[in-house]
Structure 1
Amino acid sequence: MPSLRVAVLRADDHHHRYLESMLRTRFDVVFAAVEPGSAKTARLWSRRRYRDYLYARYHDIRRSLTGKDRYRREYFRHYPPLYADADNSLLVSSINAPEVAAGLADARPDVTVVIGCSILGKAVLAAAGDRIVNVHGGYLPDYKGNHCVFFALYHDEPDKTGVTIHHVNAGVDTGALIEVVRPPVHGGELAEHLYCRAEKLAIHRLVGRLERLEAGVELPSTPQPQRGDTYRTRDRGPSHDLRMWIRQWGRRRPRPVGSDR
């Protein structure tokens, strides 16, 4: 049985690299394009979207100062290394660069896997083939866009923390569902803990789905209910993080002896 031909379109965060590594370990990755987060941020500045640029920089600094970037790096570091020197891998300033569409057209993948990069334009969508699958860091259909696990906790909906594997269409996280993966919630976890836990589970579930596809079992496709909200990077600011910190600090305070409250 021939190996499944897989293309990968991704950003460069630790779990994005982990996903490509897992796919290369198991399947025939015929093409990969990497859009660094720094390139997306720089594009905001060049397009004079200064407010979005400042929020993107805020989150970069926040993750560095709070140790969350280090936590994520450690969480995803001990699995197979990335084949960084692969001949069929491109580093691009935009996932919609012409060379990405050309590379996909030449590679003719059976399935294209997307994680973390910008919204795909028409040319890339057309070249990516009939099966385009996204790993979205949120519980669909309720939480679309960015910082979805954070906002699920912020809105006191821990049952809606998760990562969704879904088909890609022209909308933003609106394609038909393949699987919604929810992490175990023990109580007291930060959004980063649940996010990493759910992402790793989803990546392994996706590998399992693709193994079944290779064996002839088509991917599920369940239309999304028409509900939910879309969150932008700038929708989460310092005030949101401060409110979440105060709430979590209050829940961790020891209760007075004899108190039943």
Structure 2
Amino acid sequence: MRLALLCGSSARSMYVANVLAATHDLACIVSEVGRDWSRARIRRNLRPRVFWSRFARACSPSRRRRRATEASILFGRQRPHWPSDVSLFRVRNVNDASVVTTLGECGVGGVAVFGTSLLRRAEFFSLRAAILNLHGGISPEYRGADGVFWAVHSQDWENIGGTVHFVTPRIDGGALVARYRPALKGGQSEAELVCAVLRGGAHLLSEAFARLERGEAFGVEQPHRGRLFQAHHRTRDAERRVRRVLADSTAQAIELPERVEWFVATKTVQRGSEAVEREVLACR
């Protein structure tokens, strides 16, 4: 299937891009390098609690170390890089009108989304293309930012994983396509868990497009709204708790196998708008 990727600019995004380029005809990559600074967003971010939480997060040495560790896990000794033979477009915001135009000109049958702002333009959903998002958390339980972090925070080991779902105007709320849970063993750091989820999730996303191209129908409505986590929820106190949890003897003794769920539609689902029966096709 001919694909386009809408993503961020991090090493995580570059890894997903390389997986899709190796397994599909990846026509273009649109990398979002800015933020959606609407008036409502500016007002929200100027609230004292949100502002200081974001400030501390941006200045945190642990955040920089974590990102460097993730890059080394995903790319080894290589510097994180985009696929060399795929057109790369950088935009301030993924909802720019030029993005929809680019997707139309590329003639793609599928659009992969990872790590961008919420898609708000109605024109995205008028494209004759399947739009799938790779979310770094288990939906609906951990929607939004830092899904792995919050699962560890809750000691919810069974729900450390990632989700592939259809994109809707609701954050990580579209019909489920597949969920991936990596093998867990004691002693893993947050960065190692995140990278394990990302590696499996990226290949799951690739497989989802391949199976859609073969005519398989996926998409099951999420059973409940779950909980939405945002970046400012990740406070220093929460980070200290996660470090304690990972160092605890209970976490050190955790052993869980890799698991994959596919959500097969009993009817054709159009971007999560039609209720269907859930069927778990496979777990491995």
Alignment of 1:101-250 (within 5 A): 101-126=100-125, 128-214=127-213, 216-250=214-248
Rate the CA distance shift 1:54–1:35 in 2: closer, same or farther, 3 A.
farther
Q: Is 2:29 the counterpart of 1:32?
A: yes
Partner of 2:42: 47
AA aligned opposite 1:137: G
Contact 2:57–2:63 (CA under 8 A) maintained in structure 1: no
SS at 1:211 equivalent: helix
AA aligned opposite 1:19: V
Partner of 1:18: 15
Q: Aligned partners of 2:18, 2:55: CA distance in 1, in Å?
A: 28
**Structure 1: runs of 5+ lacking an equivalent:** 253-261
SS at 2:124 equivalent: helix
Q: Aligned partners of 1:109, 1:65: CA distance in 2, in Å?
A: 35
AA aligned opposite 2:4: A
Q: Aligned partners of 1:220, 1:74: CA distance in 2, in Å?
A: 34
Contact 1:100–1:124 (CA under 8 A) maintained in structure 2: no
Rate the CA distance shift 1:76–1:26 in 2: closer, same or farther, 3 A.
same
Alignment of 1:82-101 (within 5 A): 82-83=82-83, 86=86, 88-101=87-100
> What is the deviation of 1:56?
3.6
> What is the deviation of 1:207?
1.8
Contact 1:96–1:124 (CA under 8 A) maintained in structure 2: no
Contact 2:160–2:182 (CA under 8 A) maintained in structure 1: yes
Q: Aligned partners of 2:191, 2:55: CA distance in 1, in Å?
A: 18
Contact 2:153–2:245 (CA under 8 A) maintained in structure 1: no
SS at 1:201 equivalent: helix
Q: Aligned partners of 2:112, 2:237: CA distance in 1, in Å?
A: 35
Equivalent residue pairs, number: 245
For residues 10-42 of structure 1, the C-alpha deviation after alignment (integer angstroms, 9 at most, x for no partner) is 001112111112212232222321012xx2297
Rate the CA distance shift 1:55–1:44 in 2: closer, same or farther, 3 A.
farther
Rate the CA distance shift 1:66–1:9 in 2: closer, same or farther, 3 A.
closer
Root-mean-square deviation (CA), in Å? 2.7
Q: Aligned partners of 2:221, 2:112: CA distance in 1, in Å?
A: 19
Q: Aligned partners of 1:127, 1:84: CA distance in 2, in Å?
A: 30
For residues 234-259 of structure 1, the C-alpha deviation after alignment (integer angstroms, 9 at most, x for no partner) is 1111111122334444549xxxxxxx
Q: Aligned partners of 2:83, 2:51: CA distance in 1, in Å?
A: 31
Partner of 2:279: none
Rate the CA distance shift 1:200–1:44 in 2: closer, same or farther, 3 A.
farther
TM norm structure 2: 0.77
Partner of 1:62: 60
> What is the deviation of 1:155?
1.0
Q: Aligned partners of 2:217, 2:69: CA distance in 1, in Å?
A: 32
Q: Aligned partners of 2:123, 2:225: CA distance in 1, in Å?
A: 27
Point out the more displaced range, 177-186 or 237-246: 237-246
> What is the deviation of 1:116?
0.2
Q: Aligned partners of 1:211, 1:106: CA distance in 2, in Å?
A: 22
Partner of 1:73: 71
> What is the deviation of 1:139?
0.6
Rate the CA distance shift 1:66–1:107 in 2: closer, same or farther, 3 A.
closer
Contact 1:181–1:202 (CA under 8 A) maintained in structure 2: yes
Rate the CA distance shift 1:85–1:97 in 2: closer, same or farther, 3 A.
farther
Rate the CA distance shift 1:45–1:154 in 2: closer, same or farther, 3 A.
same
Rate the CA distance shift 1:32–1:151 in 2: closer, same or farther, 3 A.
same
Contact 1:44–1:50 (CA under 8 A) maintained in structure 2: no
SS at 2:4 equivalent: strand
Contact 1:6–1:28 (CA under 8 A) maintained in structure 2: yes
SS at 1:234 equivalent: helix
